[in-house]
Structure 1
Amino acid sequence: MANRQVVWLRLDAPAKPAPGLPCNGCGVCCAAAPCPMSRLLLKHRAGPCPALEWADTRYRCGLLQAPRRHLSRLPAWAEPGFRRLARRYLAIGHGCDSLATTEEDP
């Protein structure tokens, strides 16, 4: 069997979209591995991203939703600019880029 990883997500989370389709907040990509931004800013190397948050029936990036909760040294005045840069850096709104495949528990 190929490399397999088990990640636990909420049962009511949306199913992972196919690559290229709009993000629906399934959380698979962030639960499987930290993104480059998490690695750089949160010094997180493996496992689910510590900034992955559940809100309004979907997973969201806490670095975008509440940056200062995760980056205590970020000044309040810099938060809007940080969000704009983070959205661009993570390509938010440009479609799913996770190649992970998923399956439900047996």
Structure 2
Amino acid sequence: MQTIHLHPLAPAKPTMGAVCNGCGVCCAAEPCPVGVLISRKRRGRCVALVWDEGQNRYWCGMLLEPARYLPINWPWLNRRISRWAQRSIAAGLGCDSDSVVATEHDA
């Protein structure tokens, strides 16, 4: 069993197929294909998982601010990379994480 740590105000993980609510479970458990490239690892928390204090949710940093994770900062390229990342992670198409979430109370 893998233990991940999330912000205490993170929303509960939605059911498979439900709209993403920014719970962060998927990206904290393992990086997606985009995250593998950015994090340079196949297991563990993605380095591009970003907590949004104002909205109390997680976002993919590659969608919001790709230049932060890349060695170059060209605005035209950043916009294209952001769109590519959005398609690659199927952003907005629903939860695809089959992770089982247990709370401290379940332990």
TM-score normalised to the size of structure 2?
A: 0.90
Aligned equivalent of 1:77: 76
Aligned equivalent of 1:8: 5
One-letter amino acid of the counterpart of residue 73, structure 1 = I
Distance of 1:6 and 1:97 partners within structure 2:
19
Distance of 1:103 and 1:96 partners within structure 2:
17
Deviates more, 1:86-95 or 1:75-84: 75-84
Deviates more, 1:80-89 or 1:39-48: 39-48
Distance of 1:68 and 1:91 partners within structure 2:
20
Q: 1:76 offset after TM fit, Å?
A: 1.9
- In the TM superposition, what whole-angstrom CA distance separates every residue of 1:23-64 from its partner, at most 9, and x where no partner exists? 000000000001111112431222110110101210011111
Aligned equivalent of 2:93: 94
Q: Which runs of 5+ in 2 are unaligned?
A: none
Distance of 1:10 and 1:42 partners within structure 2:
20
Q: 1:73 offset after TM fit, Å?
A: 2.0
* Identity, % of aligned positions: 45
One-letter amino acid of the counterpart of residue 70, structure 2 = L
Aligned equivalent of 1:46: 43
Q: Which runs of 5+ in 1 are unaligned?
A: none
Deviates more, 1:71-80 or 1:89-98: 71-80
Aligned length, in residue pairs: 103
Distance of 1:77 and 1:91 partners within structure 2:
22
RMSD of aligned C-alpha atoms?
1.1
Q: 1:74 offset after TM fit, Å?
A: 4.5
Distance of 1:97 and 1:16 partners within structure 2:
11
1:24 and 2:12 are equivalent in the alignment? no
One-letter amino acid of the counterpart of residue 22, structure 1 = V
> Secondary structure, in 3 states, of the residue corresponding to 2:11?
coil
